[in-house]
Amino acid sequence: MSTHTLPDLPYSYDALEPFISRQIMELHHKKHHQTYVNALIAAEASYAKSSTPRERIALQAALKFNGGGHINHSLFWKNLAPASSEGKGNGGSLKAGPLKDAIEQTFGSLDALKKEFNATTAGIQGSGWGWLGLNPTTKRLEVTTTANQDPLLTHIPIIGVDIWEHAFYLQYLNVKVDYLNAIWSVINFEEAEKRFTEGLSSSKL
């Protein structure tokens, strides 16, 4: 029996305004993420009933797409926090600590990271995700991307940003760059630092 469920958001639907609207958050969470969960459960049930390698291979795409959608979005919600610039929370605030040190060591500054991240992520053809990942071999931070709903398997995910149109279109229309600039105001760097320190102490992806 599959136990996948839609996780609750750690804040209200309007908590990320004005950077991400309530309408987007509600649709993105209740409709899009719920669809990935439902489809993943259905694909796993079909896989459990399948009796031939051909049937199992045919289900791989659905498992990867919907499983990746569930993994990525579960991480994405925790990755965000109400904006400190609006006096609502800790979003966008990178405090002194190991993550800030590593960002400055690798990229020179947080602004330089944002510039590289936004340029790389905006360059994704079609839909996908932009990532700040920890390379498990070198223990260095790297900017990378994945297509569609593919989860990040080559690195330990530190920050992930959804660049599917459903994540921004109702507010930013087709201007991905405005969305990418805005989202840094609601990035939860405390959660990112937790993932970073855990990643340093473990070589497991």
Binding residues for Mn(2+), as ranges, are 28, 73, 162, 166
> In 3-state terms, what secondary structure has residue 96?
coil
Residue 199 · residue 158 · CB < 8 Å:
yes
Cα distances from 121 to residues 104, 113, 131, 137, in angstroms, run 20, 12, 8, 23
Structure tokens at 152: 């990040």
**What count of residues does the chain have?**
205
Q: φ, ψ for residue 5 (rounded to 5)?
A: -135, 160
Q: What angle do CA 95, 11, 109 make, to 5 degrees?
A: 25
Binding site: residue ranges? 28, 73, 162, 166
d(CA 32, CA 102): 34
Sequence-distant (≥ 6) Cβ neighbours of residue 85 within 8 angstroms: 91, 92, 185
